[in-house]
Amino acid sequence: MSDCLTLKRSNCKNCYKCIRHCPVKSIRFSGNQAHIIGNECILCGHCFVVCPQNAKQIVDETEKVQVLLQGEDPVIVSLAPSFIANYPETGIDSMRTALKKLGFYDVEETALGATMVKREYDRILHEEDRDIVISSCCHSVNLLIQKYFPGCLRYLADVVSPMQAHCKDIKRRYPGAKTVFIGPCVAKKDEAEHYKGIVDATLTFEELTAWLKEKDITLERQQDRTDKSLARFFPTTGGILKTMAWDTDKYTSLAIDGVENCIAALKDIEEGRIHNCFIEMSACIGSCIGGPVMEKHRHNPVSDYAAVARYTGKQDFDVDQPEEAEMKKMFEFITQRSAKPSDTEITQILRQMGKFKPSQELNCGSCGYNTCREKAIAIYQGKAEISMCLPYLKDKAESFSDTIVKNTPNGLIVVNDLLEVQQINSSALKMMNLRSPSDIMGAQIVRILDPLPFLNVQKNHRGIYNERTFLAEYDRYVEMTIVPDKESNMLICIMTDVTEEESARQRKEDISRQTVEVADKVVDKQMRIVQEIASLLGETAAETKIALSKLKESITDE
């Protein structure tokens, strides 16, 4: 399959909306980015339509077409009949005028090829002995059957699509011509790429609109309705059936739109509950006028259908029906590479997701998968990650935060705007000498703490931080932080028990004071001793002086 639908990596925001809307879950998530699995995708374009970030993009072939126009061969457009819904109040003549200004040789309606296809369907129903016939106009439906319902391949009409029938006819009438299909479908790009030599390039209506705007070309408002245009009904639900000649009682008919409905019908067929039926299948709700590139932001199914109905005549186009062999198209089974896990492996993955019993399998769909088991299979196949499970992440986050709250040595108390206790952890219970949270939950904070700090924080909308307080009733010193949470309108109190630190500080102060007192006493005693020594030294010196003086006098007298 060609890579006609791609992802802009930078835009993916992990909303999983594309997974939720993908009918075959052909999107893989890795590294927080979505990746389209080409081998499994049926190119319905749902992911392109629903992506809120426009992360999905269709490969633009405008430049390829412009290169074709620069060549010598005539380039002729096959214009899908849904154009009348996308470009209201126009007609094939006004579209032809505008597109010729872009350089195209001519513009024809794909409805000409649709007429050929419906005639081949009529022939099959009248001339061949088939049990069930499924229309093969929708390439997404064809891919759905080829990839997921190989048992129904034999019922798929082996007939080319209207696009292919018309482009074959153009090349038959204009040898050497190049053909460009323009329509509302992503899958047609893949169909043109896969079946070489029929359609040389495809454009979407969005690409055409952008090109016309770039060249400042305005579509003229004119209606050119003709009665020979019955196949213009093809892009509507039941439109193929409306054009067919139902003059046989052998078959009943049924028109189904939407991939989910098509899947349900194909399951019924596989189980043998449907017989003798012609089934028109369209992947898009409303058929082609509900296509993913019908300039999606203005799609209106009622007015779009009315526009087609007004433009459609009651008779067939005048076309030369090709030979039966020219209308043949073979469909091969496209194998899937995804392995299927065993029940044991699924159970192991479910346990990794925190789901140990069926009651824990919520099947909420937030990850994009319908059931937890589908998600587990996708994880095994490498499409999904365990972290895509919202309940799992929520439980994990709550468990992690609960572990922190329960095991922190800090006391935590949460009160509401009425100062009623909403949460309290075990450390706070121990500080408050409480046995269990039920002793205080829902009660006023005044029962266990002074409410004044809480009232001040509530009034001023400013927190207090690391304020040291003595809780006399608990004989504890704490450092208290109270902060407001504006989103929840709660006050969060964090208390750190610093009683031992405060006691150690006081003991240190006592020791310091005692040391100073001892030092003072020692100094006083030393001073007294010094004074006493000084006094004794003074008396001894005086006596010595007197004695020496008397000795001096006696020596002198002699």
Task: Give 414-459 pLDDT, tens digit per residue.
Answer: 999 899 999 899 999 999 999 988 889 999 999 999 999 999 999 9
Helix (H, G, I), strand (E, B) or coil at 300: coil
CATH number of the domain bearing residue 362? 1.10.15.40
Strands (E), 23-104: 27-30, 33-36, 56-58, 75-79
pLDDT at position 515 over 90 = no
Task: Answer yes or no: is 213 within a domain.
Answer: yes
Bridge partners, residue 77, by sequence: 107, 180
Model confidence at 135, pLDDT cuts 50, 70, 90, reads very high
CATH number of the domain bearing residue 422? 3.30.450.20
pLDDT in tens, 361-375: 888 877 878 888 888
- The answer on 367 and 429 residing in a single domain is no
In the listed set 467, 497, 527, which residue is the last one of a domain according to the structure? Answer: 497
- The answer on 392 and 270 residing in a single domain is no
Among the listed residues 332, 62, 348, the one whose alpha carbon sits nearest the alpha carbon of residue 189: 62
Q: What is the DSSP letter of 175?
A: T
- The answer on 413 and 381 residing in a single domain is no
The chain-wide mean pLDDT, for the chain, equals: 89
Residue whose token pair is 């991939």: 259
pLDDT at position 33 over 90 = no
Q: Are 137 and 161 in contact (CB under 8 A)?
A: yes
Q: Are 493 and 482 in contact (CB under 8 A)?
A: yes
Is the Cα dihedral 18, 20, 24, 30 positive or negative?
positive
Model confidence at 116, pLDDT cuts 50, 70, 90, reads very high
**525-550 average pLDDT score:** 76
**Predicted local distance difference test score (pLDDT) of residue 379:** 85
**Predicted local distance difference test score (pLDDT) of residue 400:** 67
- The side-by-side arrangement of strands in the sheet containing 252-257 is 132-134, 277-282, 252-257
Strands (E), 214-360: 252-257, 277-282
- The answer on 315 and 372 residing in a single domain is no
pLDDT at position 387 over 80 = no
**Predicted local distance difference test score (pLDDT) of residue 507:** 84
Model confidence at 38, pLDDT cuts 50, 70, 90, reads confident
In the listed set 307, 327, 347, which residue is the last one of a domain according to the structure? Answer: 327
pLDDT at position 285 over 90 = yes
Our count of domains for the chain comes to 3
Task: Answer yes or no: is 67 within a domain.
Answer: yes
Q: Could you give the CA distance from residue 420 to residue 526 in angstroms, rounded to a whole number?
A: 65
**Tokens found for residue 395:** 């439980």
β-strand pairing of 27-30 with 33-36? antiparallel
Q: Are 376 and 392 in contact (CB under 8 A)?
A: no
- The answer on 454 and 318 residing in a single domain is no
Domain encompassing residue 372: 339-406
Q: Are 42 and 147 in contact (CB under 8 A)?
A: yes
**Predicted local distance difference test score (pLDDT) of residue 397:** 65
**Predicted local distance difference test score (pLDDT) of residue 399:** 66
Q: Could you give the CA distance from residue 113 to residue 168 in angstroms, rounded to a whole number?
A: 9
CA distances from 65 to 80, 208, 497 (A): 17, 11, 77
- The answer on 298 and 285 residing in a single domain is yes
pLDDT in tens, 458-472: 999 899 999 999 998
pLDDT at position 345 over 70 = yes
**Predicted local distance difference test score (pLDDT) of residue 297:** 56
Task: Answer yes or no: is 518 within a domain.
Answer: no
- The answer on 251 and 171 residing in a single domain is yes
**383-399 average pLDDT score:** 72
- The answer on 265 and 226 residing in a single domain is yes
- The answer on 453 and 319 residing in a single domain is no
**499-523 average pLDDT score:** 82
Task: Answer yes or no: is 264 within a domain.
Answer: yes
Share of the chain above pLDDT 90, in %: 58
pLDDT at position 257 over 60 = yes
Q: Could you give the CA distance from residue 442 to residue 124 in angstroms, rounded to a whole number?
A: 78
In the listed set 306, 327, 348, which residue is the last one of a domain according to the structure? Answer: 327
Model confidence at 538, pLDDT cuts 50, 70, 90, reads confident
- The answer on 201 and 89 residing in a single domain is yes
- The answer on 247 and 161 residing in a single domain is yes
Q: Could you give the CA distance from residue 162 to residue 113 in angstroms, rounded to a whole number?
A: 4
Share of the chain above pLDDT 70, in %: 95
- The answer on 137 and 107 residing in a single domain is yes
Least confident of 153-162, 190-199, 509-518: 509-518
pLDDT in tens, 234-246: 999 999 999 998 8
Residue whose token pair is 């001040």: 456
Model confidence at 533, pLDDT cuts 50, 70, 90, reads confident
